[in-house]
Structure 1
Amino acid sequence: MSEPRDDDEDDAELFRSAIGPVRPMRETAPPPSAPRPRPRARMAERDEAQAREQFRHALEDSLLEAGDALSYRRDEVSPRLLQKLKRGEISVQEELDLHGADTREAEQLVRAFLHDARQHGVGCVRIVHGKGLHGAATIASGGQPVLKNLVDRMLRHRADVLAFHSAPPAQGGTGAVLVLLAPRRLRS
């Protein structure tokens, strides 16, 4: 280690005399640090993603094929009444044909049709969705009939639908569905 030179000490003394008396600066708070990221529930996010994936696969696994029959009944509907519907023994009062409709249009048509039928006191309707053997939507969906699956999903989630079943062969077979609607309740 070398000893400090006299020139360095002279320069420091010269600097201090040129500046004059010095007062220390008061201490300031350090600048704020970047905010810490909010904690994430990574395991919950992963569980949620896995649940969505399983649900999507369950939906894909439950898709109907062209020849599959649609069938559903609420608990308050007797199995005997569903059998009558299945055999076509309940008179159909109105019909909706979805041939040529895309999914968005078909969904709107079904909603409006069922609403109007219920408003007019119609108890049983037929919706012709087609078997799904032809058409670009069927090919794009991996061979499943798009409108048939759409109608099935929609009818199962409607409160005004009591039961439905694919029509007997003379009334359209698996390309149509007979729908039993709940009676309209009058407001008092």
Structure 2
Amino acid sequence: MTTPAPKHRSTAIKSLQDLRPLKQELATRQRLAQEREAALARERAAALREARLFEHTVGPVQALAVSARVLHRPEPPAPLPLQREADEKQAWLQALSDDFDVDSLLETDDTLSYRRPEISEETLRKLRRGHWTRQAQLDLHGMRRDQAREALGHFIQAATRQGLRCVRVVHGKGLGSPGRQPVLKSKVQRWLVQKEEVLAFVQAQASEGGAGALVVLLQLPPGRSTGAPQAAP
């Protein structure tokens, strides 16, 4: 007859069987933790190798002392010549007088013209015949007196700086003005005579505006060739 096992022994065996899954789960967690730690270690090592790639390539390096570093301040932008531009504008307004007596300096033979004393009649005839190409043009239509005076001063100065020899200034015939009188025509003549850069001017040919425009011959700036472009035959 078999003797039955004591009750406390079978309870202990059952408790050990219940702990086996728990021990397996703990082992699995430990293994995963070790794998994660190993993966992090490999990532840190790879990052360190990449950060020291230059040092591994060229050999040992030594960092510069921070005290020897020089910080260069960015250069400030160049100042705008506002005062110079204002002075030039005021000089133009003061230099070009509306009261300048120009009638005695104009020649009114066949067409209106003007020339400085050192400019010959032959040069004036060449200018009238279109010997020099018109290299630039200024149209003063629709401008008030002060606007036209300033625009003309800028135009003559810029043309001289560029070395232009012959330009055209359109002042209009006054067909749209009160009394159908050209408002700017006589003023433009006065202003041009006062400009040192102007050697001569003549009334434009009919195809270029006739009595509503002037063809102006300019002196060349110092150092420029005295030759002037000629119109195509």
TM-score range, shorter chain: 0.5 to 0.7
Q: 2:138 aligns to what SS in structure 1?
A: strand
Aligned residues: 122
Preserved contact between residue 173 and residue 181 of structure 2 (Cα < 8 Å): no
1:118 to 160, 163, 182: 160
Higher RCO (CA 8 Å, separation ≥ 6 residues): 1
- Matched to 1:170, the amino acid is S
Runs of 4+ in 1 over 6 A off after TM superposition: none
Q: How far is 1:69 from its partner?
A: 4.4
Tell me whether 1:158 sits opposite 2:190 in the alignment: no
Please give the alpha-carbon distance, in whole angstroms, between the structure 2 residues aligned to 1:90 and 1:75: 20
Q: 1:146 aligns to what SS in structure 2?
A: coil
User: What aligned pairs does 1:1-188 form with structure 2 within 5 A after superposition?
Assistant: 69-136=111-178, 139=179, 144-186=181-223
Q: How far is 1:101 from its partner?
A: 0.7
Preserved contact between residue 88 and residue 167 of structure 1 (Cα < 8 Å): no
Preserved contact between residue 125 and residue 180 of structure 1 (Cα < 8 Å): yes
Point out where structure 1 has 5 or more consecutive residues left out of the alignment.
1-55
Q: How far is 1:70 from its partner?
A: 3.3
Preserved contact between residue 102 and residue 190 of structure 2 (Cα < 8 Å): no
Q: How far is 1:115 from its partner?
A: 0.4
Q: How far is 1:75 from its partner?
A: 1.4
Preserved contact between residue 70 and residue 152 of structure 1 (Cα < 8 Å): no
More helix by share: 2
- Matched to 1:95, the amino acid is Q
Deviations 1:103-141 (A, max 9, x none): 1100000000000000000000000100112224xx4xx
1:77 to 1:145, Cα distance in 2 relative to 1, 3 A: same
Q: 1:81 aligns to what SS in structure 2?
A: helix
TM-score (norm 2): 0.48
Please give the alpha-carbon distance, in whole angstroms, between the structure 2 residues aligned to 1:71 and 1:168: 12
- Matched to 2:123, the amino acid is L
Point out where structure 2 has 5 or more consecutive residues left out of the alignment.
1-98, 225-233
Please give the alpha-carbon distance, in whole angstroms, between the structure 2 residues aligned to 1:158 and 1:169: 25
Q: How far is 1:89 from its partner?
A: 2.6
Pairwise CA RMSD: 2.7
Query: How much identity, in percent, do the aligned residues show?
Result: 46
Please give the alpha-carbon distance, in whole angstroms, between the structure 1 residues aligned to 2:102 and 2:148: 20
Q: How far is 1:144 from its partner?
A: 4.0
Please give the alpha-carbon distance, in whole angstroms, between the structure 2 residues aligned to 1:149 and 1:183: 25
Q: How far is 1:87 from its partner?
A: 2.0
